[in-house]
Structure 1
Amino acid sequence: MPVYQAGSLNTAALTAPDLYVQVIAPKTRLINGVATDILGIVGVASWGPTNSPFLIGSTADMQRRIGSQQVRKYDLATAVAVSLQMGAANIRAVRITDGTDVAASVAVKDVAGTVTGITLTGFYTGTLGNTIQAAVTAGTAVNSYKLTISMPGLTPEVFDNISGTGAALWTNMVSAVNNGLSGIRGPSQLVVATIGTSTTTPNVSTVYSLTGGTDGATTITDALLVGTDGTSTTRKGMYALRGSGAQVVNLVDLTDSTQWPAMLTFGLAEGMYVVTQGPAGATYATVSTTLNTAGVDGYALKVMVGDWVYWYDQVNGINRMLAPATFSAAELAALSPHISPLNKQLTTVVSTQRVMAEQPYSQPEIGAINTARLDVITNPIPAGAKFGHRSGLNCSSNPTQNRDTYTRMTNFISLTIAAAYGYVIGQNQTLDLRRETKSSIETFLANLQGQGMIGDPNGGPCFSVQLDKTNNPDSRVALGYMQADVQVKYLNEVRYFLVNIEGGGSVTITASTTPR
Structure 2
Amino acid sequence: MPIVQQGSINTTALIVPDLYVQIVPPQVTLLNGVPTNVLGVVGTATWGPVNSPTLIGNMAMYAQTFGAIQNRTYDMGTAVAVAVQQGANNFRCVRVTDGTDTAATVVAQTNGVTFTAKYTGSLGNTVTVALAAGSAANTWKVTVAAPTLAPEVFDNIGAGQTGNALWIAIANAINNGVSVMRGASQIITATAGASTTAPTAATLQLAGGTDGAATITGAVLLGQDTVPRKGMYALRNQGVSIAMLADCTDATTWPTQVAFGLSEGIYMIGTGPSGDTIANAVTAKSTAGIDSYAFKLLFGDWVYWLDTVNGVTRLVSPQGFVAGLLANLSPQNSSLNKQIYGVVGTQKTFANQNYSSAELQALIQAGIDVVTNPVPGGAYFGCRAGHNTSSNALTQGDNYTRMTNYIASTINAGMGKYVGQLQSATVRAQAAATLSNFLSSMEQQGMIGAVNGGPAFSVQIDANNNPMNRVALGYMQADVKVVYLSVIEKFLVNVEGSQATVIRTSTANQ
The bucket for the TM-score relative to the shorter chain is: over 0.9
Percent of matched pairs sharing the same residue: 52
- 2:500 aligned to 500, 503, 506, which one? 506
CA distance in 1, matches of 2:86, 2:421: 45
Query: TM-score of the superposition, structure 1-length normalised?
Result: 0.96
Aligned equivalent of 2:168: 171
Aligned equivalent of 1:451: 445
What is the correspondence of 1:453-492 to structure 2 with a 5 Å cutoff?
Answer: 453-492=447-486
Contact 1:178 1:188 in 2 (8 A): yes
CA distance in 2, matches of 1:478, 1:181: 63
For residue 255 of structure 2, give the secondary structure of its aligned residue in structure 1: helix
- 2:259 aligned to 252, 261, 265, which one? 265
CA distance in 2, matches of 1:24, 1:200: 72
Q: Indicate whether 1:39 and 2:39 are aligned.
A: yes
1:12 Cα offset (Å): 0.8
CA distance in 1, matches of 2:150, 2:281: 48
Q: Indicate whether 1:331 and 2:325 are aligned.
A: yes
1:25 Cα offset (Å): 1.1
1:150 Cα offset (Å): 1.0
**Distance change in 2, residues 1:430/1:389 (3 Å):** same
Contact 1:307 1:352 in 2 (8 A): yes
CA distance in 2, matches of 1:229, 1:155: 34
Aligned equivalent of 1:102: 102
Aligned equivalent of 1:161: 156
Q: Which shifted more, 94-103 or 318-327?
A: 318-327
- Tell me which amino acid in the other structure corresponds to 2:262: L
- Tell me which amino acid in the other structure corresponds to 2:31: I
Contact 2:450 2:485 in 1 (8 A): yes
**Distance change in 2, residues 1:514/1:485 (3 Å):** farther
- 1:215 aligned to 211, 214, 220, which one? 211
For residue 343 of structure 2, give the secondary structure of its aligned residue in structure 1: coil
- 2:177 aligned to 156, 180, 183, which one? 180
Structure 1 residue runs without a partner (length 5+): 110-114
For residue 11 of structure 2, give the secondary structure of its aligned residue in structure 1: coil
Contact 2:42 2:246 in 1 (8 A): yes
- Tell me which amino acid in the other structure corresponds to 1:491: L
Kindly provide the CA deviation profile for residues 267-311 of structure 1, in whole angstroms up to 9, marking residues without a partner as x.
000000111111111122211111111111110011111111111
1:173 Cα offset (Å): 2.1
CA distance in 1, matches of 2:279, 2:21: 72
Aligned equivalent of 1:305: 299
1:170 Cα offset (Å): 2.2
For residue 124 of structure 1, give the secondary structure of its aligned residue in structure 2: coil
Aligned equivalent of 1:8: 8
Contact 1:278 1:304 in 2 (8 A): yes
CA distance in 1, matches of 2:275, 2:482: 40
**Distance change in 2, residues 1:170/1:514 (3 Å):** farther
For residue 462 of structure 2, give the secondary structure of its aligned residue in structure 1: coil
CA distance in 2, matches of 1:350, 1:166: 61
Kindly provide the CA deviation profile for residues 355-395 of structure 1, in whole angstroms up to 9, marking residues without a partner as x.
11112011222222211111000111111111110011101
Aligned equivalent of 2:190: 193
For residue 98 of structure 2, give the secondary structure of its aligned residue in structure 1: coil
CA distance in 2, matches of 1:499, 1:202: 83
CA distance in 1, matches of 2:508, 2:142: 83
- 2:120 aligned to 125, 140, 162, which one? 125
CA distance in 2, matches of 1:256, 1:59: 28
Kindly provide the CA deviation profile for residues 189-219 of structure 1, in whole angstroms up to 9, marking residues without a partner as x.
1011112112343222x10111110000111
- Tell me which amino acid in the other structure corresponds to 2:195: S
- Tell me which amino acid in the other structure corresponds to 2:119: Y
Contact 2:332 2:485 in 1 (8 A): yes
**Distance change in 2, residues 1:452/1:5 (3 Å):** same
CA distance in 2, matches of 1:153, 1:74: 21
Aligned equivalent of 1:112: none
- 2:226 aligned to 211, 230, 240, which one? 230
1:513 Cα offset (Å): 7.0
Contact 2:67 2:148 in 1 (8 A): no
Contact 1:180 1:187 in 2 (8 A): yes
CA distance in 1, matches of 2:108, 2:21: 67
Query: TM-score of the superposition, structure 2-length normalised?
Result: 0.97
CA distance in 2, matches of 1:145, 1:271: 54
1:480 Cα offset (Å): 1.2
Q: Indicate whether 1:341 and 2:335 are aligned.
A: yes
Count of equivalent residues: 507
- Tell me which amino acid in the other structure corresponds to 1:210: L
Aligned equivalent of 1:424: 418
Q: Indicate whether 1:146 and 2:144 are aligned.
A: no
CA distance in 2, matches of 1:428, 1:193: 58
For residue 262 of structure 1, give the secondary structure of its aligned residue in structure 2: helix
CA distance in 2, matches of 1:440, 1:514: 50
Q: What do you get for the CA RMSD once the two structures are aligned? A: 1.4
Aligned equivalent of 1:363: 357
- Tell me which amino acid in the other structure corresponds to 2:333: I
- Tell me which amino acid in the other structure corresponds to 2:147: P
CA distance in 2, matches of 1:446, 1:512: 40
Kindly provide the CA deviation profile for residues 30-72 of structure 1, in whole angstroms up to 9, marking residues without a partner as x.
1211110011011110001111110111111111111111111
CA distance in 2, matches of 1:59, 1:277: 23
- Tell me which amino acid in the other structure corresponds to 1:474: M
Q: Which shifted more, 72-81 or 136-145?
A: 136-145
CA distance in 1, matches of 2:31, 2:507: 46
CA distance in 2, matches of 1:438, 1:8: 26
CA distance in 2, matches of 1:487, 1:49: 43
Contact 1:369 1:391 in 2 (8 A): no
Aligned equivalent of 1:441: 435
CA distance in 2, matches of 1:514, 1:499: 28
1:345 Cα offset (Å): 1.1
1:167 Cα offset (Å): 2.5
For residue 410 of structure 1, give the secondary structure of its aligned residue in structure 2: helix
CA distance in 1, matches of 2:43, 2:501: 63
